[in-house]
């Protein structure tokens, strides 16, 4: 089965040794980047006690749970259990791994097999990711952005050309990942404020 | 310098944190805030009529507002934390010290409601807390677009110390911090500062410490 790619973060917001929680098709995912820069998207649940792995920490090429320090390597298999340092963890202790890729400054995740690549967004710089308590269609009608053949909303915010990727969250919320044409900081700040204005407009429209 | 302190209070923690970052020695005087309610006692109100914590006592000087205490500790032991001596910077730092009161009145109140069973209009506190975090996220985003990592520019100041604890502890009051990438990166930078100290709910960056080598039979 082929699953769709979901935009989950701007690459700039996940530095090396960083871990953050994201949501893909209602599934909680721990998105992290190793010391060497390798990107990974795993089920956000430690197989030991169910703690969110996105609360954990990255050392080298492994992600460790904040609760009891169990650490997991690139394939999702358990590498080390600190309370039993002489034990080689059984193969069965493994975190489910999803597909993650980085393309033009955006991180995408797919829950199933995936042959195609996410849409290209060349010539743009990351602006910001903002969570809006409104559904995508409400945001689109509040924004005046047009949907292109590639399914991406494009238009202008504070006179800056932008592309807006929408990530659906449970309970009708949406994350907007906004990229903008290169511009000076003052122009990008104006665009960032326009994203906030769009959030407020969509939320009041959704509530009405 | 005596700090009348409660371990779980974000407003007391920000004083301990600044003191640690600037090398200022504090004598901690624990106040039985919960469940004892010692801050409301007649004896404590002789010190601070408002019956609030933190309180800083240094000789004859008694300060009872956390913004004032931060300013005093910085002036005594870490003037760099006041920001450079320009009208713009002084204004910006004062802006965020005042903003931190809104964090205490929203996120802080939601947290006291959920953790210490203190009365509050919890939905109103959470709505106001989310609005504060959205403002903080936007301000930090703008700083990043200008190439800066902190609330008042390129180096951390009192502005950051005043706002950091409540931003970290918002989940204790039922307010998610998941939606704020700029806040996440900013709190990481602050937790990586030399001399950083923890409080319950705010831990250091484990990745900056070497991996402990465990011994069988421990833990």
Fold of B83-191: Glutathione S-transferase Yfyf (Class Pi); Chain A, domain 2 (1.20.1050)
CB contact under 8 A, A85 and B184: no
Confidence at A185, pLDDT banded by 50, 70, 90: very high
Residue of A nearest to B208 (CA): A59
CB contact under 8 A, B207 and A59: yes
Task: Quote the pLDDT of residue B213.
Answer: 67
Q: Which residues of chain B have a pLDDT value below 70? A: 213-219
Q: Are A127 and A179 in contact (CB under 8 A)?
A: yes
Of A58, A82, A131, the CB nearest to B179: A131
Is B138 part of the contact surface with chain A (CB cutoff 8 Å)? yes
> Over chain B, what is the mean pLDDT?
95
User: Which of these, A90, A42, A49, A41, lies nearest to A68 by C-alpha position?
Assistant: A49
Question: What are the φ/ψ torsions at residue B108 (nearest 5 degrees)?
Answer: -60, -40
Is A43 part of the contact surface with chain B (CB cutoff 8 Å)? no
Is A57 part of the contact surface with chain B (CB cutoff 8 Å)? yes
Looking at 3.10.620.30, 3.40.30.10, 2.30.110.10, 3.40.50.300, the CATH number of the domain B2-79 comes to 3.40.30.10
SS in 3 state form for B39-90? HHCHHHHHHCCCCCCCEEEECCEEECCHHHHHHHHHHHHCHHHHCCCCHHHH
CB contact under 8 A, A66 and B203: yes
pLDDT tens track for B158-215: 999 999 999 999 999 999 999 999 999 999 999 999 999 999 999 998 887 777 765 5
pLDDT tens track for A141-161: 999 899 888 889 999 999 999
Of A13, A17, A192, the CB nearest to B207: A17
Minimal CA separation from A143 to chain B, in Å: 19
Token pair in block for residue A199: 């959030």
**Helix H or strand E segment including B203:** none
CA distance from start to end of chain A: 39
Residue of A nearest to B145 (CA): A185
Question: What are the φ/ψ torsions at residue A24 (nearest 5 degrees)?
Answer: -125, 120
Residue of B nearest to A175 (CA): B179
Task: Quote the pLDDT of residue B219.
Answer: 42
pLDDT tens track for A2-48: 568 999 999 999 999 999 999 999 999 999 999 999 999 999 999 99
Pairing of strands A174-180, A160-168: antiparallel
Q: B2-79 and B83-191 share one CATH topology?
A: no
Question: What are the φ/ψ torsions at residue A152 (nearest 5 degrees)?
Answer: -100, 135
- Domain map (residue ranges) of chain B: 2-79, 83-191
Strand partners, A27: A24
> How many interchain CB pairs under 8 A, A with B?
59
DSSP state of A89: P
CA distances from A166 to A5, A7, A34, A174, B71 (A): 11, 7, 26, 6, 43
ipTM: 0.95
CB contact under 8 A, A15 and B212: no
Domains belonging to chain A, first-starting first, are 6-110 (2.102.10.10), 125-207 (3.30.70)
CB contact under 8 A, A15 and B147: no
Residue of A nearest to B204 (CA): A57
DSSP state of A145: P
Alpha carbon distance B171, B175 (integer Å): 5
Token pair in block for residue A195: 């994203």
Query: Taking 50 as the threshold, does the pLDDT of residue A200 lie above it?
Result: yes
Of B146, B179, B182, the CB nearest to A185: B146
């Amino acid at each position: 089965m082929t699953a769709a790619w979901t935009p989950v973060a701007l690459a700039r917001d996940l530095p090396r040794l960083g871990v953050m929680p994201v949501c893909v098709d209602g599934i909680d995912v721990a998105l992290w980047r190793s010391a060497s820069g390798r990107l990974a998207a795993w089920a956000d649940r430690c197989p030991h006690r169910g703690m969110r792995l996105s609360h954990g920490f990255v050392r080298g090429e492994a992600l460790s749970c904040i609760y009891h320090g169990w650490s997991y390597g690139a394939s999702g298999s358990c590498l080390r259990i600190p309370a039993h340092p002489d034990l080689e963890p059984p193969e069965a202790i493994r975190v489910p791994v999803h597909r993650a890729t980085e393309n033009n400054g955006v991180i995408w995740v797919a829950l199933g097999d995936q042959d195609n690549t996410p849409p290209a967004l060349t010539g743009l710089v990351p602006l910001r990711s903002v969570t809006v308590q409104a559904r995508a269609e409400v945001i689109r009608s509040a924004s005046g952005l047009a949907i292109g053949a590639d399914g991406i909303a494009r238009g202008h915010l504070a006179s800056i050309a932008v592309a807006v990727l929408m990530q659906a969250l449970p309970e009708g919320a949406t994350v907007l990942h906004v990229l903008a044409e290169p511009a000076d900081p003052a122009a990008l700040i104006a665009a960032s404020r326009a994203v906030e204005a769009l959030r407020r407009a969509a939320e009041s429209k959704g509530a009405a | 310098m005596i700090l009348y302190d409660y371990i779980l209070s974000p407003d007391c923690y920000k004083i301990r944190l600044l003191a640690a970052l600037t090398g200022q020695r504090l004598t901690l005087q624990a106040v039985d805030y919960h469940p004892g309610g010692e801050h409301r006692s007649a004896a404590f109100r002789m010190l601070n009529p408002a019956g609030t914590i933190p309180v800083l006592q240094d000789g004859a000087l008694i300060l009872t507002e956390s913004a004032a205490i931060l300013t005093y500790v910085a002036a005594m032991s870490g003037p760099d934390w006041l920001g450079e001596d320009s009208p713009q910077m002084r204004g910006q730092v004062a802006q965020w010290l005042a903003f931190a009161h809104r964090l205490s009145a929203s996120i802080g109140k939601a947290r006291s409601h959920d953790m210490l069973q203190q009365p509050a209009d919890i939905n109103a506190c959470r709505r106001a807390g989310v609005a504060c975090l959205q403002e903080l996220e936007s301000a930090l985003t703008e700083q990043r677009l200008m190439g800066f990592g902190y609330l008042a520019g390129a180096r951390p100041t009192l502005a950051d110390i005043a706002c950091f604890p409540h931003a970290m502890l918002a989940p204790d009051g039922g307010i998610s911090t998941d939606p704020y990438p700029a806040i996440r990166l900013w709190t990481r930078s602050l937790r990586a500062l030399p001399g950083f100290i923890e409080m319950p709910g705010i831990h250091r960056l484990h990745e900056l410490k070497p991996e402990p080598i465990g011994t069988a039979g421990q833990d």
